[in-house]
Structure 1
Amino acid sequence: MDLKTRAIATFDWVDARAFGIPSILKRTFQSFGETNAAESASSIAYYALFSLFPMVLFIISLASSVLRDESTQQEILQYVDNFLPTAQDLVNQNIARALELRGAIQLVSLVGLLWAASSVFTILAANINRAWHTAQKRNFVQGRLLALGIVLSLALLFVLWLIFTTLLNLLPVFEVPIFGTLNIYDTYIWSILTQFIPSVFLLIAFLNLYRWVPNTKVRWREAAWGALVSVIGFQMITAGFRWFLTSGMARYQVVYGSLGAVIALMLWLYLSSVVVLLGAHLTAAIALQTRATMDN
């Protein structure tokens, strides 16, 4: 038995005892490489840079009645700090400017912001669709309509997150004592639960992205695994990137000067795009593996 045959036999032995996970990972990275997903992530990051602020302004315009509250504005800034570690100052300035000009934003402006914000999701949806070899390619009109739907869905999800967070902040008014006089809202468990809320909404976003964007049949349980892995990867990249920026090792401002924040944001967008595409290819690999097993 030669080395290659022995390696294949060993892989099959491990795969059979590891519930097919090695085969799924193999399919994932093989498909990721065959579709040049790493290069596609760079184009997604490029379009995301131009679509980020129109999308933020569009969401702010829709939620203008909510944003009049100062505490809600602080919640949004905190959300930006958690998920966009390199762009807090940039987004904060745009949010402040948008709030000043909020009365001047008309229907035509909203449509323009919606169209600009959807550009990145047109590219993103096309690349997620490519992860599925059985998916049919959409034409320009279908792709743009899908992208517009994604932006509107994200805007709705964000507004729901604002409402949920606001209600959550009001709960401590109603004291719920445990273990005598100890209030449940003062416990460490409650603090952990509130920190997980953004991740839950992010999981919902990824779940629907992987379920509905591919132009083929995708089961919820298949999309759930890809969404869960993407959320974990997204959180790890964001935490690692924030640590890198605060550790003193990041010297991008020395090299790029005033463009340093933009370059750092581009890098974060690229890494995030890689995670999103990996989640899509993982979902497709899980579907292919489980359906083949069921057929056999």
Structure 2
Amino acid sequence: MRFVTRFRRAFWRVLIHGQLAVAKAAAYSSILTFFPAILVITSILETSHRTEGFVRELAAAVGWVLPPGPNSVALTFFQSKQQHTVRLLTSAAIVTTLAASGVMISWMEGFRKAYSMQNTWSFWKERAIAFYLVFLALLPLGFATILVVFGNQIEDWMQRESMHLFRPLVYVFWVFMRWIIAILASICCIALIYHHGVPKTQSWRRVMPGAVLATFLWFPATMFFGWYVTNYANYSVVYGSLSAAIALLVWLYILSIIVLLGAEFNAQVYPKIMDSNEAAAPKVNS
């Protein structure tokens, strides 16, 4: 019951703190990040014929993660064999980094609202922290991507090395482990952002509840949105050729709301603002 009460309060605080507007700004920056990032990744992987299998694995993972509509747009990048210049890829990488930092800046604003904190950072320090968070978040996401790319190779190796009798169990174990690793990578990524995204760095214990909540809301939210787009929403009637991009924008908007909801949930579980050094210090009785 305590969880339900805190979740309800966190959801209400998302509304009264204006987090929907913050999520909207983050979604706009996210869509500017999404397409250049895929362009850079696919162009790098397609420089060699040896990586064609990896591109197919990554394309399959993207098609599985994204809801219908946005996944068709993303898959066109993987199916395109067009060669791009170094100048274009460099520009796309710069745009990706700048837009991703914009996502972090929007989220950090929402985190401060959740804790009712003032922005004590200067203009340049806030942007430096945003860039730092972008590259920091790439660590767990990069690990998960490598797992996706090499997942089938690892599975094939495990199947070859195991006895014939245990191969079905090995397959089930590896599918289960891929889910576990994907969930842990998501939790680590969100926890890192919560941990460093406010002027007073929160301890890991204080950011984990929201990170776990956000991760376990992401998956059903994506599945529900995909079901909604497939069965009810017809964006092409209103937006025409922009329908897939609009669907992607709505999906990114939902994910940003979930991230901010996780921050509000952390503020409900641990309402007192305390930095990580204070949290680690032992209490001294007077």
What TM-score bracket applies, with the shorter chain setting the length?
A: 0.7 to 0.9
TM-score by length of 2: 0.79
Contact 2:36-2:92 at 8 Å conserved across structures = no
Match of 1:117 among 83, 86, 100: 100
2:27 maps to amino acid = A
Q: Is the contact made by 2:112 and 2:118 (CA closer than 8 Å) also made in structure 1?
A: yes
Q: Shift of residue 63 of structure 1?
A: 6.8
The separation in 2 between residues aligned to 1:272 and 1:154, in whole angstroms, is 16
| Residue 62 of structure 1: how far off its partner (Å) | 7.2
Corresponding residue number in structure 2 for 1:282 = 265
> How far apart in 1 are the matches of 2:127 and 2:80?
28
Counterparts of 1:195 and 1:21, CA distance in 2: 25
Counterpart pick for 2:206 among 218, 222, 236: 222
Q: Is the 8 A contact 1:252 1:264 kept in 2?
A: yes
Counting matched residue pairs gives: 272
CA RMSD of aligned residues (A): 3.2
The alignment partner of 2:62 has SS state of helix
Task: Give the share of equivalent positions with the same residue, in percent.
Answer: 22
The residue type paired with residue 51 of structure 1 is T
The aligned counterpart of 1:73 is 55
Shift of 1:234: 0.7
Which has more radius of gyration?
Answer: 1
With over 3 angstroms needed to count, the CA separation of the structure-2 counterparts of 1:213 and 1:189, relative to structure 1, is same
Any idea what SS the aligned residue of 2:14 has?
helix
Shift of 1:238: 0.4
2:138 to 141, 151, 155: 155
CA deviations on 1:217-237 (whole Å, 9 max, x unpaired) are 312122111111101111011
Report how far residue 59 of structure 1 moved.
5.1
Structure 2 gap ranges (5+): 275-282
Distance in 2 between residues matched to 1:75 and 1:102, nearest whole Å: 24
Consecutive aligned runs of 4 or more in structure 1 exceeding 6 Å deviation? 61-67
* Partners of 1:68 and 1:118 in 2: CA distance: 33
- Shift of the 198–47 alpha-carbon distance from structure 1 to 2, 3 Å rule, reads same
| Unmatched 5+ stretches in structure 1 | 1-17
Alignment of 1:1-296 (within 5 A): 18=1, 20-21=2-3, 24-25=6-7, 27-58=9-40, 69-85=51-67, 86-95=69-78, 100-101=83-84, 103-104=86-87, 110-134=93-117, 136-171=119-154, 172-174=156-158, 175-177=160-162, 181-183=165-167, 187-246=171-230, 248-288=231-271
Task: Quote how far apart the aligned CAs of 1:95 are.
Answer: 4.6
The 1-side partners of 2:125 and 2:81 are apart by: 31
Distance 1:140 1:290 in 2: 23
Q: Which secondary structure state, in structure 2, belongs to the residue aligned with residue 215 of structure 1?
A: coil
Residue deviations 1:110-167 (CA, integer Å, cap 9, x gap) = 4344223322222222222321124544332122212222222333433322333344
Structure 1 position 51, deviation (Å) = 2.5
Q: Counterpart of 1:69 in structure 2: which amino acid?
A: T
Alignment partners' CA distance in 1, 2:49 and 2:26: 29
Contact 2:63 2:72 in 1 (8 A): no
Structure 1 residues 40-59: Cα deviation after superposition (integer angstroms, max 9, x where no partner): 22222222222222333455
- Residue by residue over 1:241-293, the C-alpha shift from the partner in whole angstroms, topping out at 9 and shown as x without a partner, is 112223x32222122221211221122112111111100111121111798xx
